[in-house]
Amino acid sequence: MTDPDVNLLGLPRRDLEAFFVGVGEKPYRARQLMKWLYGRGVLDPAQMTDLGADLRRELAARAPLRLPEILAAQESADGTVKWRLEAGGGQAIETVFIPEPGRGTLCVSSQVGCAMDCSFCATGRQGFNRNLAAADIIGQVALARRELGDPEGRSPVTNVVFMGMGEPLANFRAVVQACEVLVDDLAYKLSRRRVTISTSGLVPQIRNLAEVARVALAVSLHAPDDDLRSELVPINRRHPIAELLEACWDYVEATNTREITFEYVLLDGVNDSPAQARRLAGLLARRPAKVNLIPFNPFPGTSYRRSAPEAVEEFRRILAGADIVTVTRRTRGDDIAAACGQLAGRVDNRVRVPLGSRQQETTWS
Ligand code: SAH
Ligand code: SF4
């Protein structure tokens, strides 16, 4: 009936309406389909009883309205669940659900691997294979909801964070589409504050994001000076700290969000000294910023070590002393390699192109 490459799962409402109009149907069919897909978790058109028989047949004929296949599921002692999902062509991605009192956070992947090459990250070490489509991203949410059920009559997924495999802003279009579905009242109904994009610092895309999706933003800073940050997070050579922070403050103003969360992985003897904490405080004090200190999660082959608890506490104390809200993230799911930076899936690295040219390919158009 139509372009077989359009996957209806993960399509924002207006695109879905355009799709139905394009096939001679009324735009309200989009609402009906969204209620089935996201409200009831029904993907089989045959069960969508308020659509006409012909339309049901046509939708069924134009698959795929299907969720990714689960290759493995693991549950941590702390209740964290990790799914390893088939991503086509022998590749795999990972999705993690982290239950906490009163909320449940789903950590989704946005790419198969990651090209940003941060030195302390298991995903980055594997290289990059491909961008995920919006359907693949929303598929992770739909799959988690199906697997977790609604034990208390409501969805256990209250928050979605783009902190799994990949650099979300290097897959801008699909990630923005997925965000639209996450916040749509006919789909997942999450408030914008409960959807967080975490980025290593792609400045032009941060600026574009402010115009199209006013979701919460987390920025992986990890160092208070350019020399060290460029070593840990290579994109810093292209967009150094001052430029990045300016884009962050502009984002807050343009989007009316409360603040930016700065993530800072503490690496023993690398970025965890009191002097570095003071320098970081100098960058963020009196700004709309909060800091998330992340204990380093080791993975096979890395030579970095986790900072001592006393160093973490001293670092936190210095930031708090400058009136910066600072939280030390509790490590979750590390017994099943589901913690930050441990996600590895299966990635056949296809490109290791210089950062500059790679960025051109992935910019929002
Ligand atoms: N690419 C995005 C989002 C995915 S990574 C980004 O870099 O922000 C999610 C968070 O995990 C980032 O803050 C990242 O720096 C952090 N991280 C990466 N490797 C880690 C590791 N080995 N231990 C702890 N955190 C890590
Ligand atoms: Fe990519 Fe984020 Fe890992 Fe850096 S930390 S390599 S941007 S996933």
**How far, in Å, CA of 264 to CA of 269, rounded?**
14
Position 356 scores a pLDDT of 38
- The confidence score (pLDDT) of residue 353 equals 42
Which ligand 2 atom sits nearest the alpha carbon of residue 122?
3
Burial class (CB in 10 A: 0-12, 13-18, 19+), 198: buried
* CA-wise closest residue to 108 among 146, 155, 164: 164
Q: What is the pLDDT of residue 190?
A: 97
114 is catalytic: no
Q: Which of 340, 343, 358 to mutate to test the pocket of ligand 1 (most atoms within 8 A of CB)?
A: 340
CA distance 288 to 261: 9
Q: Which two tokens stand for residue 113?
A: 């691997």
Beta bridge partners of 266: 295
Compute, in angstroms, the gap from residue 109 CA to the centroid of ligand 2. Answer: 11
Fold category of 70-364 in CATH: TIM Barrel (3.20.20)
Say whether 340 is catalytic. yes
* pLDDT on residue 6: 66
Best probe residue, ligand 1, of 125, 221, 294 (max atoms within 8 Å of C-beta): 294
pTM here? 0.92
- Please give the distance, rounded to the nearest whole angstrom, from the Cα atom of residue 268 to the centre of ligand 2: 19
For residue 116 and ligand 2, the question of a CB distance below 6 A is answered with yes
Of 307, 254, 247, 278, nearest in space to 120 by CA? 307
Q: Is 118 in the pocket of ligand 2 (CB under 6 A)?
A: yes
Instruction: Output the CA 294–ligand 1 centroid distance in Å.
Output: 9
* Angstrom distances, CA of residue 177 to CA of 60, 110, 209, 254: 23, 12, 11, 20
pLDDT, residue 346, reads 76
Both structure tokens of 207 = 């600026």
Closest Cα to atom 4 of ligand 2: 118
> For position 330, what pLDDT does the model report?
78
Does the Cβ of 121 fall within 6 Å of ligand 2? Answer: yes
Instruction: Split the chain (365 residues) into runs of 10 and give each run's mean pLDDT.
Output: 65 93 92 94 92 89 80 92 92 94 95 95 90 96 93 85 97 98 96 97 98 96 98 98 98 96 98 98 98 93 95 98 94 70 73 41 28
Please report the pLDDT score of residue 354 as a whole number: 41
Ligand in nearest proximity to the CA of 115: 2
Specify the pLDDT at position 140.
Answer: 97
180 touches ligand 2 (CB under 6 Å): no
Question: Does the beta carbon of 124 sit less than 6 angstroms from any atom of ligand 2?
Answer: yes
Q: What's the CA gap between 116 and 128, in Å, rounded?
A: 8
Closest-approaching ligand to the CA atom of 263: 1
What pLDDT does residue 328 have?
A: 93
Distance (Å) of CA 328 to CA 44, 273, 294, 320, 325? 43, 16, 6, 11, 10
CATH of domain 13-62: 1.10.150.530
Segments making up each domain of the chain, as ranges: 13-62, 70-364
E-strand spans in the chain? 70-75, 81-86, 92-100, 103-107, 111-113, 128-131, 159-162, 195-199, 216-220, 260-266, 289-295, 325-328
Q: Is 324 helix (H, G, I), strand (E, B) or coil?
A: coil
